[in-house]
Structure 1
């Protein structure tokens, strides 16, 4: 699960779990979570990597890119959650 080595990629997938989001909404949610600006090149690089590796898919609505998790992305978030839950409970 190399995609999890990046907290940004992992957090993008967590925010997309169970819903789709426009790119700007997703970036704003990350910035609110981190309480700091996320550089656009870093943000879009993470999205491109997730899409390339099959965890995220993109479609266009009007002028905006809209992202959602693939089944592989959702499964990876669930696996990460279970691992974290086990670690916190012990």
Structure 2
């Protein structure tokens, strides 16, 4: 997870917490959570990076809409990150 940007990590978490969301659903969720508008030029290249690295699967809902789903590798990455965060927090608190 250390090779990902913070935005890519956020995308991964949203995808993991949602059942096969479309890009538009992911965009809406993040805009609500972050309070900022996210443009397509930022969203889709970052989603493609997660797909290319094998953390997310991309599929087709219809002719115009794709879905994104977390892969086993993506789930493993999240678990590793959370373990690392827990270790760091235990040391600091």
Task: Determine if contact 1:3/1:50 at 8 Å carries over to the other structure.
Answer: no
Task: Calculate the TM-score normalised by the size of structure 2.
Answer: 0.86
Instruction: Give the secondary structure class of the aligned counterpart of 1:36.
Output: coil
Structure (1 or 2) with the greater strand fraction: 1
Aligned residues: 89
SS, match of residue 21 in structure 1: coil
Contact 1:3 1:10 in 2 (8 A): no
Tell me how far 1:2 sits from its aligned partner.
4.6
**Which structure would you say has the larger Rg?**
2
1:20-64: CA deviation from partner (whole Å, max 9, x where unpaired): 211100011111111011121111110011111111111111131
The TM-score with structure 1 as length reference comes to 0.88
Q: CA 1:59–1:12 in 2, change beyond 3 Å: closer, same or farther?
A: same
